[in-house]
Chain A
Amino acid sequence: MGAVSPIGNDLQSVEASLRSGHSGVRFMHEWQEIEGFVTRVAAPPAAGLNDKEIPRKFRRSMGPQAVYSALAARQAIAQAGLTDQQVRAGRTGLSVGSTLGSAQSIHDFFGSYFEKKSVVGIKGTAFLQCMGHTCAANVALMLGITGRVLAPLSACTSGSQGIGAGYEAILAGAQDVMLCGGADEAHFTAAITFDLVRGTSTHFHEQPQATPRPFDRDRDGLVVGGGSGILVLESLEHAEARGATVLAEVIGYATNCDGTHISQPQQAGMEACMRLGLRSAGLEPADVDYINAHATATPLGDAVEAKATAAVFADRVPVSSTKGQTGHTMGACGALETIFTVLMMRGDFIAATRNLEHLDPECSGIQHVQSLRAAQIEVAVKNNFAFGGVNTSLVLRRFDG
């Protein structure tokens, strides 16, 4: 696994942050000049990232989000112990998504064009940074991947659908190894998207780390975050044959659509997705020890998710949302939060939902984790829900060898 995130740019820092409840949210001074939009808080990746670790010949076609995914991918490959030959053989593929191409690069391209009414001076690599599959293509090129390259662009479910696509490719025997995940940038255009639908947090500018507040009575919207999560998935046979250390198992996956509203989540669709995920794993709700929620701290979203989760799991299963610490990393969240869940599984703990101080009664009915707790997680569920009513549910199992 590899992570670039608001709470750390390596797995050790990330785990320490999950345990301490550290927040990566800050006030965005650089956004102050932009008229017409309100939110001023975001969670960019933690300090200390060095994009020059990526050689220029690969970096030239990468916007920031592709850089994040490239750095995370290198961490993941290194931890997995895959050789160059194994990565380049046609049996290794990749499925890495994001909401769009690089928001920064798109902004720079159109900013230049609208100002000058000309494309003179715009680099040939500009589009390669802006195109939808920029993360997938760039990481594949950097690593020399010759297997299948997929790029699920489904906003908040890009990362989880990336994992699901990798899982299904391996199950089908089409690939032995899949690098899976997602990436996104904490760019103001992303914040504006949510700001325009009154979905961003705007009341905590004086105390940025008090937001977002998933499930909390005083939550007032989401905080955009940036980063990338990449996981190496492979068949157990392949992993064992090469003596790899297996961190966890993906034992179930489901994705569906609410089919109802472009932006408002629907309980029925979310519930169905969770049940399909459990069925694909051959498990019952009672078999689950922890749920990592999507909960972005929007007033509506959290309440609907809580009701859907309660309908399937009642209050028997501890639930937390790590977005209280990371904000909503959008295309990256499904992958980053799966990584967080695996870290918790291996570290025998459950991270609390930061900023959940007074539970909103509309979010009751499930077992909320409000402080760090020790726990033996055998099976975990990772849920994510996106605009368009796209839902995903991943089922993970501890692997003890």
Chain B
Amino acid sequence: MAAEQDVVQAVHRILVEEFELEPERVTAEAHLIDDLELDSLDAVDLIAALEDTFGGRVNEDEARKVRLVSDIYVLTERTIEAAKAKAAADAEPPSSQPLGS
């Protein structure tokens, strides 16, 4: 399934503006380390940028598996979904409990 266009554009903007990469290098198939020369310090900053842009918290275990730009789209969409689910759960009233035994 193709990623949402606004996610693609926002991720692209982060990589181009924050990491000062030439736009033409930032393709869905680009490898973050081998093609775009990002490193572990950049990975931390990428997560921070994604959280700042989209809200929510990135799952660190899933983040560690990211290798291609397209993996970032998937990670971002999952983060957004998780944030929506959490917001919905937080908004539900607490279930009532009978008092006493």
Q: Is A361 interfacial (CB 8 A cutoff)?
A: no
Alpha-carbon distance between A113 and B45 when the two chains are bound, in angstroms: 16
Contact of A121 among B19, B20, B42, B51 (CB under 8 A): B51
CB distance from B33 to the nearest CB of A (A): 13
Chain B residues in 8 Å Cβ range of A123: 44-45, 48
Asked if A125 and B41 sit within 8 Å, CB to CB, the answer is yes
A121-B20 Cα distance, complex, nearest whole Å:
19
Chain B residues, Cβ within 8 Å of A56: 19-20
Partner pick for A60 among B41, B51, B57, CB 8 A cutoff: B41
Closest CB in chain A relative to B34 CB, distance in Å: 16
Does A124 contact B44, Cβ atoms closer than 8 Å? Answer: yes
Is B61 an interface residue when CB atoms closer than 8 A count as contact? no
A116 CB, min distance to chain B CBs, angstroms: 11
Does more than half of chain A's interface fall in helix, strand or loop, or is it mixed? loop
A-chain residues with CB within 8 Å of residue B19 when the two chains form the complex: 56
Query: Any chain A CB within 8 A of the CB of B52?
Result: yes
**What is the bound-complex CA distance between A122 and B49, given in angstroms?**
9
State A61–B40 Cα separation when bound (angstroms): 13
- Tier of interface size on chain B: 10 to 19
| Cα-based distance from A124 to B43 in the complex (angstroms) | 9
- A47-61 interface (Cβ within 8 A of B): 56-57, 60-61
Give Cα A258–Cα B28 distance, bound, in whole angstroms. Answer: 63
Interface size class of A (residues with CB under 8 A): 10 to 19
Contacting A124 at CB < 8 Å: which of B20, B48, B57? B48
Residues of B within 8 A of A120 (CB): 48, 51-52, 57
Shortest distance from the beta carbon of B85 to any chain A beta carbon, whole Å: 18
Taking a contact as CB atoms under 8 Å apart, the answer to whether A124 and B45 are in contact is yes
Which DSSP category, helix, strand, loop or mixed, fits chain B's interface? helix
Tell me the chain A residues, 87-142 only, with Cβ under 8 Å from chain B: 120-125
Nearest to B20 among chain A residues (CB) is A56
Measured between beta carbons, the chain A residues less than 8 angstroms from B52 are 120-121
Q: Collect the chain A residues with CB atoms within 8 Å of residue B37's CB.
A: 57
Contacts of B48 in A (CB 8 A): 120-124
Q: Considering the chains assembled together, what is the distance between the CA atoms of A59 and B27 in angstroms?
A: 24
Contact B45 A125 (CB under 8 A): yes
In Å, the complex CA distance between A124 and B51 comes to 13
Residue of A nearest to B37 (CB): A57
Bound-complex Cα distance A56 to B45 (A): 13
How far does the Cβ of B58 sit from chain A's closest Cβ, in whole Å? Answer: 10
Considering the chains assembled together, what is the distance between the CA atoms of A122 and B37 in angstroms?
22
Closest to A121 in B: B52
Interface of chain B residues 3 through 53 with chain A (CB within 8 A): 19-20, 37, 41-42, 44-45, 48, 51-52
Closest chain-A Cβ to B42's Cβ sits at a distance in Å of 8
On chain B, the residues within 8 Å of A121 by CB distance are 48, 51-52
Compute how far the CA of A51 lies from the CA of B37 in the bound complex, rounded to whole angstroms.
21
Residue of A56, A57, A61, A123 most packed against chain B (CB within 10 A):
A123
B45 to chain A, nearest CB (A): 5
C-alpha spacing A123/B45, complex, angstroms = 5
Q: How far is the CA of A223 from the CA of B99 in the complex (A)?
A: 69
A135 CA / B51 CA spacing, docked (Å): 29
User: Min CB distance, B96 to chain A, in Å?
Assistant: 32
Give chain A nearest CB distance to B70 CB in angstroms: 23
Whole-angstrom distance between the Cβ of A54 and the nearest chain B Cβ = 11
Which chain B residues lie closer than 8 Å to A60 at the CB level?
A: 41-42, 45
Residues of B within 8 A of A122 (CB): 48
Task: Tell me which residues across on chain A come within 8 A of B51, comparing CB atoms.
Answer: 120-121
Bound together, the chains give a CA A61 to CA B57 distance in angstroms of: 24
A125 to B40, CA, bound (A): 11
Task: Determine the chain B residues whose CB is within 8 A of the CB of A57 once the complex forms.
Answer: 37
Across the interface, name the chain A residue whose C-beta is closest to B44: A124
CB distance from A377 to the nearest CB of B (A): 45
Beyond the given pairs A122-B48, A123-B48, 18 more chain A to chain B contacts, judged by CB atoms under 8 angstroms and listed by A's residue number, are A56-B19, A56-B20, A57-B37, A60-B41, A60-B42, A60-B45, A61-B41, A120-B48, A120-B51, A120-B52, A121-B51, A123-B44, A124-B44, A124-B45, A124-B48, A125-B41, A125-B44, A125-B45
For the complex of A and B, 10 pairs with smallest distance between CB atoms: A124-B44, A121-B52, A123-B45, A56-B20, A123-B48, A121-B48, A124-B41, A124-B45, A121-B51, A120-B51
A sample of 20 cross-chain residue pairs with beta-carbon separation below 8 angstroms, ordered by A number, consists of A56-B19, A56-B20, A57-B37, A60-B41, A60-B45, A61-B41, A120-B48, A120-B51, A120-B52, A120-B57, A121-B48, A121-B52, A123-B44, A123-B45, A123-B48, A124-B41, A124-B44, A124-B48, A125-B41, A125-B45
